[in-house]
Chain A
Amino acid sequence: MEIIQVVNCTKDYHSDGQIVHALRGVHLSLHKGEFAAIAGPSGSGKTTLLNCIGGLDYSTQGNVYIEGTDISKLSPKELSRLRLFKIGFIFQAYNLIPVLTALENVEYILLLQGMGDSNRKRKAAEVLELVGLKDEMHRLPHELSGGQQQRVAIARAIVSSPAIVLADEPTANVDQKTGSALLDLMEHLNKEKQITFLFSTHDPMVMKRAHRLINIIDGMIVKDTLVKRKNK
């Protein structure tokens, strides 16, 4: 079964009396364990598509299914729970709650889920170790580098073992080397933990790393290619 299924999705924005067609009939399905990139120029609708898939926004028409559930029929409150339990989010930058340490930022998700004290601390620490921040756990976000902050965001996104992690241009605010290292990390998590990733980018270097490349232009998917996995 597909983890994500987008069926004939459109999204219109109304601004200043004008209608912007951000998505025009998108079809897309993703299987468990995929490592896919949505690629396209700025303004092509990448963020809009991720928001519709992640239940942050309603599509104007069409349906989005997450593990078989049609999320366009869910109430805002149900969407909020869906995001908490099923979806991990990574945004471009400033992902973290500034007054919480790296560990607490990761714990925050588990707390919202209602997990008990000892399990929670252990699990959050484990995940931070996995992303290579064992020694930086107790630092506040502003005491971490941009790359480290994104690693915390990745840790937070995967800590509750969501069905899928959505990342909107996760490497856009860091330099090439750091971006490449972040991709290494995500690829590793994808391979080792079978976590499904869908991220957007307009950076050719990042596109090259994806196992599946979905090209979007003007709100339409124009090309969808499976890249043969290179064995390093």
Chain B
Amino acid sequence: MKKDFEIISMLAWRNVWRNKRRTILTLCTIVVGCAMIILLNAFAKGGHDQMIEDATGLVMGHIHIHEKGYWENKTIDYAFEADESIEKALSSNTHIRAYCKRIMCDALIAKGGTTKGVMIQGVEPVREKQVCGLYKCIIKGRYLSDSDSTHAVIGATLAQNLKVDVGNTIAIISQGFDGSIAAEHLTIAGIFKSGNPEYDKFLLQMPLKQADETFSMMGYIHAYVIKASRIDNIDAITSSLSKKLPNNVEVLGWEKLMPELVQFIIMDDVSGYLFDLMLFLVVAFGILNTIQMSVYERTRELGIMKAVGTTPGQIVALVILETFFITVIGVLLGVALGAGISYYFTVHPIDYSQYSEEIAVWGITTTIFPATVTIANTVVTAVLTMIVSLLFCIFPARRASKLHPVEAIRHI
């Protein structure tokens, strides 16, 4: 049994190199196919990561901790105490790059005769800057600092609508945590333009300390906002925090915070997978074609092998091993090439930033297209290519094994 496997694999290996040109062409199909699948998946993943960063980076953050019920109702009542145990869990988690506290509530904002609805966020300016990038979008004035009190930054559209500018004072009115009326005069320290119409039209940020006072929060907050060191760590962080934190709070990753983005990524993935499938089929049919040709050309030889006592099982093994050898070589080279190119674009993303002004006309703010190559991507591609080609080669293998020696030998 072992002996004949040896000779069959030796035969298979030599048969692979019998028609060098054809084998090399087949190898090229596999290499290019695998490399393309890996590269496309890497760009898809890179694009999605970028999208997630863009969507979470300015205001949302990667992960929120809320009082249970806050995210459904978004009212001031769902606040929790920012106690030691939460801080400890956050600061001890190595996957977390930074975190900050927020007070959040809806309010009315008035200036002169104009009144608008706004979303108020009380933030800790210095820590907030480590978590979110809104401070980078200031177009006039400055962002908040820790020494600010009755100061605020607002969106450009809101400022326009209220006809206010840096240095002006506005009034906000809302309900406090204790049910009382909360009202305050705030001086506009800066105006931001984020590119997100929602934020530009409705968002106001003020210092957390002042918000605590204005809304009578008594040390309660609405959210911890967390930035993960890497997007891929988010799931690990949420599950580890969920276990550690008290029962009254919940931990929500960006996927829960932004379900529309998840939907979009899934749709995009589906079309990506369809494309992958097509490439897999091209590769598999390339291999199938080669094996089928080589089996057909060897009809007489296979007939003689059977005549002298080679069993059908050994013939099946021969054809499968030939496919296996070609595919393994192709997949190894293809994975190396695909992962190599993808890695290059992971380190050196395609950068359109020198054309950012031209692109901005189209409403596109992203100018960097990175790739993210993952081990999962390369391993899955390699394994699937192997499986698909081995499945396909069963047809010619079975046909070869069923050849009738007499007829095969008559065949020249």
Task: State the A residues within 8 Å of B (CB).
Answer: 51, 54, 56-57, 76-77, 80-81, 83-85, 89, 91, 94-95, 97-100, 108-109, 111-115, 156
What residue in chain A is nearest B412 (Cβ atoms)?
A94
Question: Per-residue 0/1 for B1-24: is the Cβ within 8 Å of any A Cβ (1 yes, 0 no)?
Answer: 101101100010011001000000
| 15 A-B pairs (CB sep. < 8 Å) | A54-B307, A81-B309, A84-B309, A91-B304, A97-B304, A97-B305, A98-B301, A99-B15, A100-B11, A111-B6, A112-B4, A112-B7, A112-B308, A112-B310, A113-B309
B62 at the interface (CB under 8 A from A): no
Task: Return chain A residues, CB-CB under 8 Å to B305.
Answer: 97
- Among the listed B3, B300, B309, B405, which residue makes an inter-chain contact with A109, where contact means beta carbons less than 8 Å apart? B309
CB distance from A63 to the nearest CB of B (A): 19
Contact, CB under 8 Å: B14 / A99? yes
> Considering the chains assembled together, what is the distance between the CA atoms of A85 and B311 in angstroms?
13
Task: Return chain B residues, CB-CB under 8 Å to A81.
Answer: 309
> Considering the chains assembled together, what is the distance between the CA atoms of A94 and B310 in angstroms?
17
Contact, CB under 8 Å: A97 / B406? no
Contact, CB under 8 Å: B3 / A114? yes
CB distance from B206 to the nearest CB of A (A): 81
Within 8 A of A (CB), among B296-350: 300-301, 304-312, 314
Contact, CB under 8 Å: B308 / A51? no
Contact, CB under 8 Å: B4 / A89? no
Task: Return chain A residues, CB-CB under 8 Å to B11.
Answer: 97, 99-100
Task: Return chain A residues, CB-CB under 8 Å to B311.
Answer: 77, 80
What residue in chain A is nearest B17 (Cβ atoms)?
A99
B58 at the interface (CB under 8 A from A): no
Task: Return chain B residues, CB-CB under 8 Å to A113.
Answer: 309
Task: Return chain B residues, CB-CB under 8 Å to A80.
Answer: 306, 309-312
Task: Return chain A residues, CB-CB under 8 Å to B388.
Answer: none
Task: Return chain A residues, CB-CB under 8 Å to B308.
Answer: 83-84, 89, 108-109, 112, 156
What residue in chain B is nearest A108 (Cβ atoms)?
B7
CB distance from A53 to the nearest CB of B (A): 12
Task: Return chain A residues, CB-CB under 8 Å to B301.
Answer: 94, 97-98
**Complex A-B, nearest 10 residue pairs according to Cβ-Cβ distance, in ascending order:** A84-B309, A99-B14, A111-B7, A83-B309, A57-B406, A56-B406, A56-B405, A51-B406, A112-B309, A80-B311
> Considering the chains assembled together, what is the distance between the CA atoms of A71 and B314 in angstroms?
22
CB distance from A134 to the nearest CB of B (A): 23
> Considering the chains assembled together, what is the distance between the CA atoms of A109 and B315 in angstroms?
15
Contact, CB under 8 Å: B307 / A114? no
Q: Which of B301, B307, B310, B312 has the most CB of A within 10 A?
A: B307
CB distance from A88 to the nearest CB of B (A): 8
From known contacts A51-B406, A98-B18, infer whether A111 and B4 are also in contact, taking CB-CB under 8 Å.
yes
Contact, CB under 8 Å: A89 / B310? no
What residue in chain B is nearest A86 (Cβ atoms)?
B309
CB distance from B66 to the nearest CB of A (A): 70
B186 at the interface (CB under 8 A from A): no
B409 at the interface (CB under 8 A from A): yes
Task: Return chain B residues, CB-CB under 8 Å to A156.
Answer: 308
Within 8 A of A (CB), among B370-412: 404-406, 409
CB distance from B218 to the nearest CB of A (A): 86
Contact, CB under 8 Å: B307 / A83? yes
Q: Which of B14, B305, B308 has the most CB of A within 10 A?
A: B308
> Considering the chains assembled together, what is the distance between the CA atoms of A81 and B309 in angstroms?
6
Given contacts A77-B312, A85-B309, 15 further A-B contacts (CB under 8 A): A56-B405, A80-B306, A80-B310, A80-B312, A89-B308, A91-B307, A97-B301, A97-B305, A98-B301, A109-B308, A111-B3, A111-B4, A112-B4, A114-B4, A115-B3
What residue in chain A is nearest B407 (Cβ atoms)?
A57
Task: Return chain A residues, CB-CB under 8 Å to B405.
Answer: 56
> Considering the chains assembled together, what is the distance between the CA atoms of A109 and B7 in angstroms?
11
From known contacts A83-B309, A109-B308, infer whether A94 and B300 are also in contact, taking CB-CB under 8 Å.
yes
> Considering the chains assembled together, what is the distance between the CA atoms of A91 and B311 in angstroms?
19
What residue in chain B is nearest A83 (Cβ atoms)?
B309
CB distance from A153 to the nearest CB of B (A): 9
> Considering the chains assembled together, what is the distance between the CA atoms of A111 and B314 in angstroms?
12
Task: Return chain B residues, CB-CB under 8 Å to A85.
Answer: 309
Task: Return chain B residues, CB-CB under 8 Å to A112.
Answer: 4, 7, 308-310, 314
Task: Return chain B residues, CB-CB under 8 Å to A76.
Answer: 312
What residue in chain A is nearest B2 (Cβ atoms)?
A114
- Among the listed B7, B300, B307, B310, which residue makes an inter-chain contact with A56, where contact means beta carbons less than 8 Å apart? B307
> Considering the chains assembled together, what is the distance between the CA atoms of A40 and B1 in angstroms?
42
> Considering the chains assembled together, what is the distance between the CA atoms of A56 and B310 in angstroms?
12
Contact, CB under 8 Å: A95 / B304? yes
> Considering the chains assembled together, what is the distance between the CA atoms of A115 and B309 in angstroms?
14
CB distance from B128 to the nearest CB of A (A): 71
Task: Return chain B residues, CB-CB under 8 Å to A56.
Answer: 307, 405-406
> Considering the chains assembled together, what is the distance between the CA atoms of A99 and B4 in angstroms?
16
